[in-house]
Structure 1
């Protein structure tokens, strides 16, 4: 478990308690040693979180100084829930797991009435078998983008002609029904967009590329007519 997640869960476990929570209970829940709990609590206290108590006694949040829950209005909550559903349906398995985890953390600190309201939204994005996102292709391309790894593509263009390309992948874009992979095509010596559903085979060459001002993300955005600031 990441340290940031542990700190979040410690605060959540102490929220609203009237009696001290023993460090041993926290250690068992988090699956860490007592020493780790003592260190995490001390760091939270130093950062200003109003935790009282000590080793061997237990911990609780100072009375009247509870950390307020995250405050969202109904529209913001609905946007988060719907966004999670769309990511689950179209974002690949890696982002799908991340979005579910993020939503669980948000729901954990919401008042019960808002938590119930968030689950009642009627906008859905069904997860269907046979869709490109279920093949693992988006996950593979996403990982290559993050690792700046050169890809070898066996590709079919719009007319169905086969071609072999080496691509420095820069970004993925979703257009509401199809994806494109944007990157620097070494065959053409220019930026190109590739449809993942037309990729016959993909493999990593073992080479790692470095973005440059001429061949990086900002240059790609300008090449497709988008100002870098507008893409954020």
Structure 2
């Protein structure tokens, strides 16, 4: 690992730590020696990186420190490029265009030695057939950002249509399409709605009455409970 990348990794560990982290812990994470960590900490402090602490006690990064933009390691760049290609092939037109724009921007700003990883990536994404939607996923993402209710006309697997008022939580992207997780006023519970089965949708003027973070936490709790219940069910013999 290059020194610049190692220093970046030290900063990342300190940024993620909720309490002082020892040189021994840092060395274990980086696969280096404590002596190297001490040298790295000294080098970072010499560059005015606000690190508090000392050997034998632990180190912590003061809040508000901003790193120079796009100090990416090779693996982080591969992850970003792979994710952008996935979105470009599976996202709705607006998001796919944004992914292509992101790749063009990152190609310009990354160091010369890493530019080849953007132009000729070491990873690839299998092509898929685009999902046909009558309700734009961009529309749904906007409703989530606005924290507004959606009036939805939805068709189930048998072709029956229902009108719902839902509280959108998040839009899940899959190879085979997209799914909206939402609280359904009609069913008084959390439900999933496949975008290709949405006939029409309108954003209501009324905001969702529950705090967005609290709503998402309640949804996660419900999903955890559902998974736990499923795991306890007896499995059939093979």
Please, what TM-score do these two structures have when normalized by structure 2? 0.57
SS of aligned partner of 1:211:
coil
Residue of structure 2 in register with 1:186 after alignment:
185
- Residue by residue over 1:80-133, the C-alpha shift from the partner in whole angstroms, topping out at 9 and shown as x without a partner, is 2121111122232333343333333332232334212332125145486x5337
CA distance change for structure 1 residues 68 and 173 in 2, over 3 Å: closer, same or farther? closer
Residue of structure 1 in register with 2:94 after alignment:
94
Residue of structure 2 in register with 1:163 after alignment:
162
The alignment's C-alpha RMSD in Å is: 3.1
Residue of structure 2 in register with 1:104 after alignment:
104
- Residue by residue over 1:194-218, the C-alpha shift from the partner in whole angstroms, topping out at 9 and shown as x without a partner, is 1111111112232222324897111
The answer to whether the Cα contact below 8 Å between 1:211 and 1:217 also exists between their aligned partners in 2 is no
Residue of structure 1 in register with 2:115 after alignment:
115
The answer to whether the Cα contact below 8 Å between 1:213 and 1:219 also exists between their aligned partners in 2 is no
Residue of structure 2 in register with 1:198 after alignment:
197
Gaps of 5+ in 1: 1-47, 49-66, 227-232
The answer to whether the Cα contact below 8 Å between 1:81 and 1:119 also exists between their aligned partners in 2 is no
Q: Distance in 1 between matches of 2:162 and 2:136?
A: 18
Residue of structure 2 in register with 1:13 after alignment:
none
Q: Distance in 1 between matches of 2:149 and 2:68?
A: 46
CA distance change for structure 1 residues 93 and 211 in 2, over 3 Å: closer, same or farther? farther
CA distance change for structure 1 residues 69 and 184 in 2, over 3 Å: closer, same or farther? closer
Q: Distance in 2 between matches of 1:106 and 1:151?
A: 35
The answer to whether the Cα contact below 8 Å between 2:135 and 2:199 also exists between their aligned partners in 1 is no
The answer to whether 1:85 aligns with 2:85 is: yes
The answer to whether the Cα contact below 8 Å between 2:184 and 2:191 also exists between their aligned partners in 1 is yes
Counting matched residue pairs gives 160
- Residue by residue over 1:141-189, the C-alpha shift from the partner in whole angstroms, topping out at 9 and shown as x without a partner, is 1111111121111111232211110111111112331221111111111
Q: Distance in 1 between matches of 2:211 and 2:69?
A: 43
Q: Distance in 1 between matches of 2:178 and 2:75?
A: 28
Residue of structure 1 in register with 2:44 after alignment:
none
Gaps of 5+ in 2: 1-47, 49-66, 226-238
Residue of structure 2 in register with 1:148 after alignment:
147
The answer to whether the Cα contact below 8 Å between 1:154 and 1:162 also exists between their aligned partners in 2 is yes
Q: Distance in 1 between matches of 2:104 and 2:167?
A: 35
